[in-house]
Every structure is written in structure tokens, then in C-alpha cells.
Structure 1
Amino acid sequence: MTTISLTDLDKAFEQGKPHHHPHLLKVTKNECNRLSFEFREFTGAEGRPERPEASWDGTLPRPVGDLLTAEYAAAYALWNDAAYVRTLKSVVTDQTGASAQWTAYTTARAALDDVYASLNTTPDTHWRATLSRLIIAQDAALEAATVWDRTARLIARVHCDYCDSSLGWRQAYERAGIDATDWLVRDIEDYDGTGYRARRVQETITDQRRHLKTIASLAGH
């Protein structure tokens, strides 16, 4: 952008008027020769800002083309951030009870761990009853994990689709007004197949049952 001098900026701006983005309010240039663009706030519902053909096909003077190129790059960055937040908010809103789903999963998982740990101190006379409770806890944890994974997969897809945004996940949640402090959402690839949390729970269940079979075998049952 150094091809546009401070004195030529107004002229380039005027020449580019038919092609400026509708949200553009003004453009300035500081003493370091860096352009700064001010836009009307993007909501993310607007169409993707696309650089006009005139900015690169040679029909405009080079300084005007350079100005438009920088302008649309700045416009896209702001629009992309806004679209990211808007989409994230829409997905979480549509998935009513996302926080409740996460809480249900963590509660069910903790209950599973507690019941399994209690086997170490369960008298033989109560062993079968505790095993029954364990099976119920295993099923509940797996179901809760599966429900959460469905929502988490949708959230992860949004993060993936807007990976070129300047916003990190935490910033996007904050701008969307979403309290995701405790949520553990993984990259979209981790939700292939049965889902990340469901796989972890199933692995735990498999390990638990393998251990119980070993105990039964050594005990002669």
C-alpha cells in the first residue's frame, strides 16, 4: 500500500467510489504509511465481501486497485468474525440445553466412576446389587456422552468452518454470549464415528468389565 501517498489517498478514494464496500465509512493513513479502514458494524448476515473485478483487471489506476484490495481484505476479516459469532450463537441456541447436556454428561461420568470405585469396599453380600448399579451407571454415562457428542460435533464444525477468523474459540464464545467455560469441545476430526466422549466412556466400560471378569475368574465364579 506504499504506492498511495498521503496526498493521493483522497483522490484514490474518490476514484474507487463506485466499488467501495457498502459498509465502508472512511479510510485514513498514518505516518507509518499504513491504511486504516472504518466500517459500519458487520452482523455476519451480509454476503461475503468479494473484491471487485475492477480492483485487479487494470481498468483502474494501480493506487485505486491497491486501495480496494486492502479495503476488501479488511472488510472480509470483520465480516468473517461476525459470521463466526452469528453462526456459533445460532448453533448453540438451536441445541437447546447445551449446558444441561454437558452437566448431564459430567454428572453421569462422575457417578460411573464413583460406583465402580465403591466395588473395592462392597461386601460380598452386596456385590451383585452394586454390579447392577454399575451397569445402570455405565449405560447412563454412555447415553449422556452420546447426546453431548451430537451437540459438540455441531459446535466443532462451526469452529472448523471459521478457522481463518481472527477470533479464538474463547473469544467467539464470549462475543456470542455463550458461557462455555467448562465445555470440552474437540476438533471436528475427533467426532468421527461414535463421537469423542462416547468413545472414551466405552473404553472405560470395556476396561471395567475386563477387570471384573478377571476378578470373577480368580474368585472361581
Structure 2
Amino acid sequence: MTHTIPLLHPLDDHGRLPRLILDETSRLPQDVRDAAAALAAAAAKPQLSPAAAIAPYCHPHFVRAEPAAFGRATFYFRAFTGYESRPEMPREAWDNPALTWEQKRELDSQYSVAESLWSQGRLRIQAAPVLRRAVPLWQAWQTAQNALRETFEAFRHTRDGMWRAQLLRLTEAERSALAAATAWDAVAEELSLLAAEQRRYGGEEHELDLATVAKELGLDASGWSIHWPEDYAPRASSWQHETPTVRALTAGIEQQRERLTEVARLAGDSQTI
């Protein structure tokens, strides 16, 4: 059976009861005296602050945390290069019974932010060479696309006797555009996958846009056509795999040919286009 006794006298500077009180408690049952001694020892024992308690488990790049609105915190870290290992809260922290749930939750939030910052640094490393390789491929695709458009528009000013020659130019422009679109989609898929990986680790709240990374490298990627990774995957409903840019180009080519076929039919030309 446990007993609780109120302390009618304050502890002295060393966390001990005054001598008079000790003499009085010596006549109490042993378990009561033990409880009083434990209480005095607990009062004298220095308590770790919440920050000191979790300090051994903080990420090496962690600098400090500051209170923010709605009971949240703002975490500050030294810059991540992206070469570090993926930040993960130590299992020992989760298993430590001395840490409160609030302290573990704060550590979890800290590591979540660290992982987001690390993922951004990692994207910068991985995307840089791909972005540089993508620049001439995007320019080649734009050039080929414009050439195809201009070749088709030239039919409006082509004499009847020159249509076959112009058709030859059109098919050559189509092939060039198809090759450029295929090359662009290949590098665009690489970038799309890298961006998706960064979102998976960092979360949409901390997404780093590829155009921002390109700008940091002195490149302009603001007009680039990069789709979601799923758009580059083969479609189960189609026997022919076409990536987004190739698919759009093929649809445009078919529209052009339908237009030429319609004109040929109206002109009474039996030649198949």
C-alpha cells in the first residue's frame, strides 16, 4: 500500500528536508519514508529541456526550430547538396520510452522537412546533365515542327503541276519532325521521372519545378512540353506505342493529309495522297 504525504516545509538548497522534519518522519512507516525520499530526489534531479532530450536524434544538418502559426514549427538546416543519404528518423528515437509522443512527432516533422530539402538538392544534381542535353533536342523539335507547318502552308501557293514535288517535301518534313519528336519525348520522359521522384520524397508542398532548376543553370525551359510519367507509358488500348509529342504530331499529320485528300478529290485528281 502506498502513502502520499504533503510537504509542509520546503526543501533546502540541496533538495533535502530540514533536520526537524527528518526526525519526525523517522517515526513513519518505511514505505512512507521511501516515498518522501524519492520525492526529494526527484525535485533535486536536473530535468532535460525538450530540445536537449531530442538533440541526440536530430539530423546532422539541423540548425534550429522556431515556433510558427497553428502550433507548427519552422525548421532550419544547413544546405543539402543531394549527395547525402536520404534523411530518415532514427528507429532508436521511436523506441525510446523517455521521449514523449510530442517530441517524437517533432522529430518526425523535422526529418520530413529534411527529406524535402534533400530531394531538391538531389533533383538539381540528377537533372542538370539531362537538362543540358535536352536544350538542343527541344530546339531541333521546334525547328522541325515549324518546317513541317511551313511546308504544308506552301501548298496554298503551289501550282498544280508542282504538287507532287511539294508532296515529296511534305513527307520529308514529316519524317524529320517525327524523328525530332521521338528524340524530345525520350529526354522529356527522363526529366518527368526525375521530377516525379522528387515529388514522392519531398511532397507537392515542396515540389521543385524543373524550369527553376534550368534557370539556375542559365537555361530557359519555360516553354518545354513535359508530361506526367504515365503519359509516356504504353497504352493497353493501343497496339502502337506513341509518346505524347509523337502522338500529337501524328494527329496533326493525319489532319493535314485529310485536308490534301479532300482538295484532291474536289479537283478530280485520282492520285492517292
Q: Tell me, yes or no, whether TM beats 0.5.
A: yes
Q: Normalised by the shorter chain, which TM-score bucket?
A: 0.7 to 0.9
Percentage identity across paired residues of the two chains: 30
Map 1:18-29 to 2 at 5 A.
18-29=56-67
| Residue 33 to residue 143, structure 1, CA distance change in 2 (3 Å) | closer
Aligned pair count reads 210
| Cα pair 2:188 2:226 within 8 Å, conserved | yes
Q: TM-score, normalised by structure 1?
A: 0.83
Q: TM-score, normalised by structure 2?
A: 0.68
Query: Within the alignment, does 1:167 sit opposite 2:207 as a pair?
Result: yes
| Cα pair 2:77 2:114 within 8 Å, conserved | yes
Q: 1:40 aligns with which of 73, 78, 89?
A: 78
Map 1:62-73 to 2 at 5 A.
62=100, 63-73=102-112
| Cα pair 2:189 2:232 within 8 Å, conserved | yes
| Residue 68 to residue 212, structure 1, CA distance change in 2 (3 Å) | same
CA RMSD for the aligned pairs?
Answer: 2.5
In structure 1, the residue matched to 2:229 is 188
Give the letter aligned to residue 220 of structure 1: D
Deviation at 1:177, TM superposition (A): 4.7
| Cα pair 1:44 1:79 within 8 Å, conserved | yes
Matched position secondary structure for 1:25: strand
Alpha-carbon distance in structure 1 between the residues aligned to 2:159 and 2:70? 78
RCO comparison, higher one (Cα < 8 Å, 6+): 1
Alpha-carbon distance in structure 1 between the residues aligned to 2:232 and 2:58? 42
In structure 2, the residue matched to 1:50 is 88
Q: Which runs of 5+ in 2 are unaligned?
A: 1-47, 234-240
Larger Rg: 2
Give the letter aligned to residue 244 of structure 2: Y
| Residue 111 to residue 32, structure 1, CA distance change in 2 (3 Å) | closer
Deviation at 1:138, TM superposition (A): 0.9
Alpha-carbon distance in structure 2 between the residues aligned to 1:12 and 1:90? 44
Q: Which runs of 5+ in 1 are unaligned?
A: 1-9
Deviations 1:140-192 (A, max 9, x none): 11111111111111111112222225134233433455420221212222223
| Residue 60 to residue 172, structure 1, CA distance change in 2 (3 Å) | farther
Map 1:19-168 to 2 at 5 A.
19-29=57-67, 34-62=72-100, 63-93=102-132, 96=133, 98-163=134-199, 164-165=203-204, 166-168=206-208
